[in-house]
Amino acid sequence: MKKSKFESGRQAAKILALLSVGTCVAALMAGEGTPLQLALAILTLVLFVSIFTVAAVRCRCPHCGKTVIFGLWNATTCPRCKRSLTTGNKIKGKK
């Protein structure tokens, strides 16, 4: 089955989050005040911003278009219209 736009966006955000953790740790281990640490710190910031950019652009409800950023990792339904974020269908058994 083909992945939905929402799922692939979430996947990309996850990868970016892992990368930013990696650069953050690398920055902490790099010598203090060195150009390497500065570069890694900037990279961490850039990755962090791109997580939100990816989430804002791609992680939207397919039904109402609401951007889902908070609780993105575990979100399955839209906080606004309560439909499935991956298919846009109504979730049965929930009001």
Of 37 and 77, which has the nearer Cβ to Zn ion? 77
Q: How many residues bind Zn ion (CB under 5 A)?
A: 7
Of 34 and 87, which has the nearer Cβ to Zn ion? 87
Among 63, 67, 77, 86, binds Zn ion (CB under 5 A): 63
Applying the rule CB under 5 A, the residues between 73 and 92 that interact with Zn ion are: 78, 80-81
Of 75 and 81, which has the nearer Cβ to Zn ion? 81
| DSSP letters spanning the chain | -PPPHHHHHHHHHHHHHHHHHHHHHHHHHSPTT-HHHHHHHHHHHHHHHHHHHHHHHH-B-TTT--B--TTTTT--B-TTT-BBTTT-PBPTT--
Instruction: Give contact residues for Zn ion (rule: CB under 5 A).
Output: 61, 63-64, 66, 78, 80-81
